[in-house]
Amino acid sequence: MKTALISVFDKNGIVEFCKGLKDLGFQLISTGGTYQLLKKEVEVKEVSELTGFPEILDGRVKTLHPRIHAGILYRRESALHQKTVEELGIDSIDLVVNNLYPFEKVLKKEGVSEEEQVENIDIGGPSMIRAAAKNFQDVLVVTDAGDYEEVLLRLREGRNDLSYREQMAAKAFRYTAYYDALISEYFSNRLSVANPEYLSLSYRLGTSLRYGENPHQNAAFYEKVYEENPAEWKQLHGKELSYNNYTDMYNAVRFVKEFSEPAVVGTKHNNPAGIGIGETIDEAFDKAYACDATSLFGGIFALNRPVTKHIAEVLHSFFMEIVIAPDYEEEALSILEEKKNLRVIVMPNLSTFSLPKKTVKEVLGGILVQDYDNANLTEEMEVVSARKPTEEEMRNLLFGFKAVKMVASNGAVLVKDGATLGIGQGQVRRTWAVEDALSHGEGKHSGAVLASDGFFFADTVELLQKHGIRAAIQPGGSVKDPEVIELCDQYGIALVMTHIRHFRH
């Protein structure tokens, strides 16, 4: 008679599954709460009957016993192993069904003490799963209730073959690796470990996507599990989200989170095409849209205030991929829902959720991990020119330096009245980025200021003078800084150095 060891925290479907196993002639052994549930419905033995040893320490020790692990791990084709288990009277365990204590679920509960969290670290479960997965040549391991139906079908039809057992073993190892990574992240974050000697990140499959960055690339969205204050969002309308939509949404939202006042950021291919702030969200939207309405065709708008009827009517007039906001006026939502393919996303906690503490980028041979760029202008910022910016210029300079943080390096933005007039981004030469920003803002230069994400040289100052730009902001830090300051003084240009750089590669 074959034996199945059943020990699950998530008991959905387990009674029906065990009835099916019993019908197939399996002997069932179980533990704790699972045993108490099963014994009401099917014939089942308690693990302590098999081990001759009671569960102790409030259930912390129950399956950690040689009769359990030897029954799972012994190699059936080994004469030595067979002799050993026979001499010791150890029965084989041919099927292990296990899922783990809800560390993840408890992690997401508010007000949970460290003691309660630690108590939900499963020890015996991962040991059983790993043992069964290691010995997949002889043992089938099941960790997902979604597999119960197929397992029973394969057992009935005699298709519990080596290939299937190996697939289930691989799934089991992914499960325990994920579980351990979650625990590792919890302690590393709790103790604020900056650069741990081993880095484990826990993600869970959210959804498979139609395709990746291009149609020939397979892709999926994996959810980040361990987050202290995660983003809460829901799609209200429109087509299924694509790979590019996810990346665009992330960048649009993190850009608009730079502002506390009503703000709108319109993006295209992960770069801003228009940024505006205002007294009202309508004013902010009109400024962002006016920056480059042509490029915003097929783009994304992120707003940090509810979408109004006015905004919805403008968005309805051209093709848009996504609009994302903390809420929508009822009439505005009705207007947007007329656009069959427009993806309408609501994010109630857009302004309050936490951006990641670290960012990860794949490189040759590994990944790079760095702190998220959340540096703000500090008291180190200084006016280095003889001419001081006016109050209005300084407001626009500060807005501009937030805006240029969103732009791919080398980047520059031309701004006025809390709006981007021109954006130059991703150029290999800074003067080209400045020229782009100035050309896009052609005819609107009077009173405008320029922000750059990195230091510039005298050739940039010459461009500012040529186009009548009277104030600029940049990090500084070049050996050419004295020459640049001298030239700004010669032309009467106010120059602010932040001593903070915002490259985005």
- Residues with a catalytic annotation lie at 134, 269
Query: Could you tell me if 463 and 435 are in contact, meaning their C-beta atoms sit under 8 angstroms apart?
Result: yes
H/E stretch holding 4: strand 3-8
Q: Where are the strands (E) in 89-247, listed by range?
A: 95-99, 140-142, 203-208, 220-224, 234-237
The pair of three-digit structure tokens given for residue 264, joined into one six-digit string: 């709108």
CA dist., res. 180 & res. 394, Å (int): 50
Nearest to residue 272, comparing CAs of 440, 450, 475, 420? Answer: 420
CA dist., res. 230 & res. 286, Å (int): 30
Nearest to residue 13, comparing CAs of 115, 146, 178, 191? Answer: 146
What is the number of helices (H) and of strands (E) in the chain? 18, 21
- CA-angle at 70, arms to 64 and 74, nearest 5°: 150
Nearest to residue 272, comparing CAs of 416, 437, 397, 395? Answer: 437
H/E stretch holding 45: strand 45-46
Nearest to residue 107, comparing CAs of 10, 228, 223? Answer: 228
> Helices 309-316 and 281-291 meet at what angle, rounded to 10?
20
Query: Could you tell me if 179 and 122 are in contact, meaning their C-beta atoms sit under 8 angstroms apart?
Result: yes
The pair of three-digit structure tokens given for residue 340, joined into one six-digit string: 């069959």
Residue 329 burial class via C-beta count within 10 angstroms: exposed 0-12, middle 13-18, buried 19 and up? middle
CA dist., res. 104 & res. 120, Å (int): 9
- Look up tokens 């002639």; give the residue: 25
CA dist., res. 333 & res. 320, Å (int): 14
Determine the straight-line distance between the first and last CA of the chain, rounded to whole angstroms.
62
Other residues' Cβ atoms within 10 Å of the Cβ of residue 299: 23
What are the distances in angstroms from CA 322 to CA 55, 95, 211, 240, 355? Answer: 55, 48, 18, 11, 20
